[in-house]
Amino acid sequence: MRRTLIAGNWKMNGNQAANALLLAGLKEGIGASVVQVAVCVPAPYLFQCQAALSATAIGWGAQDLSVHAAGAYTGEVSAAMLQDFDCSHVIIGHSERRSNHGEDDATVALKVNAALAAGLTPIVCVGETLAQREAGQTQDVVSRQLDAVLGTIAVEMVGRLVVAYEPVWAIGTGKTATPEMAQAVHAILRERLSAKAPAAGAAVQILYGGSMKPDNARELLAMPDIDGGLIGGAALKAADFLAIIHAAG
C-alpha cells in the first residue's frame, strides 16, 4: 500500500515573516493526518524549516541540488548541505529547471544519483509540453525522461525514488489534466518503474503536479496510480495546502 505524499513546491517565494505564518498554519491545521507531507523551499529558508518543523510530522526539502559534491561551484548547493539541514526530499528536473536552466536528462540523472548517495529522496519531475501532447508524444517524452534516470541507478535504488508527473502546460496555468489523462500517464510511468524493478516499482509514489487545488485534488487523488501531489501555487496558502492534505486522507 503506497502512502499518499503531498509535497509543496514554494518555488522562489516567501520571506521569513510570511514563512513563519505559513509554517505555523500548517502545524496547527495538520491534525492527525495520515498523509505524508513535505515542503520544498528556497535554500535560504531550509534552516527556518528545520527549526520550525523538526518536532513535527512535516518534512522539508529543496527544489534543486548540485551534481557536484563540493568545491568551486559558485551559487550551487550540494546534497551534503541539504543533508546538513535534515532535508527529507529534493525536487529534481522540474520543468522550470529544464527550460530556464537548460537541464537535460543526463543532468537530471546525475542529480538524482547525488541525492540518493546522500540519503535524500529525489522527487523526479517529468512531463510533456503542450506541443508535445498535441503531437501525440506524451508517452515517448515521459518515458524518455524517466528511463534516463532509471538507466543510471541500481535496481535497489528504484524504491527510493518519488516520481512527479507534471504536464508543463498545467503548471501554474490553472489548467489541470483530467484524472483520466493523468492516470494514463501515471500508469505508463508505473510500467517503466516496474520493468526495472518489479516489486519496488509498484511501491514508488507517483505524484501529480499541475494546478492541483483544493477543488480538484480529491478526484485526481482517487485514481489508482496517483499517489499524491506536487503543489505549487496552492502550497503558499496554509488553508489551500491543508485542504489538499485533508482531501488526500
Residue ranges that bind ligand PEP, judged by CB under 6 A: 9, 166, 171-172, 209-212, 230-234
186 is known as an active-site residue: no
Written as one letter, the residue type at 200 is: A
Nearest to 163 by CA among 107, 68, 215, 91: 91
Is the Cβ of residue 67 or residue 217 nearer to ligand PEP in the bound state? 217
Q: Looking at the chain, list the stretches that DSSP marks H as alpha helix, in order from N- to C-terminal side.
A: 16-29, 46-53, 79-84, 95-100, 105-117, 130-134, 138-150, 179-196, 198-203, 214-221, 238-248
Is the Cβ of residue 61 or residue 233 nearer to ligand PEP in the bound state? 233
94 is known as an active-site residue: yes
Least separation in angstroms between CB 125 and ligand PEP: 7
Least separation in angstroms between CB 173 and ligand PEP: 7
Q: Looking at 54-197, list the stretches that DSSP marks H as alpha helix, in order from N- to C-terminal side.
A: 79-84, 95-100, 105-117, 130-134, 138-150, 179-196
Is the Cβ of residue 37 or residue 230 nearer to ligand PEP in the bound state? 230
Is the Cβ of residue 197 or residue 231 nearer to ligand PEP in the bound state? 231
Q: What are the φ and ψ backbone dihedral angles of 15, each rounded to 5 degrees?
A: -155, 170
The grid cell for 89 is: 526530499
Is the Cβ of residue 56 or residue 99 nearer to ligand PEP in the bound state? 99
Closest residue to ligand PEP, judged by C-beta, is 232
Least separation in angstroms between CB 51 and ligand PEP: 25
The one catalytic residue among 96, 103, 166, 186: 166
State the Cα–Cα distance between residues 182 and 53, nearest whole angstrom: 31
Least separation in angstroms between CB 230 and ligand PEP: 5
State the Cα–Cα distance between residues 151 and 130, nearest whole angstrom: 26
The one catalytic residue among 94, 96, 128, 186: 94
Look at the alpha carbons of 232, 238, 240, 245 in this order and tell me if their dihedral is positive or negative. positive
Least separation in angstroms between CB 187 and ligand PEP: 20
Annotated catalytic residues are: 94, 166
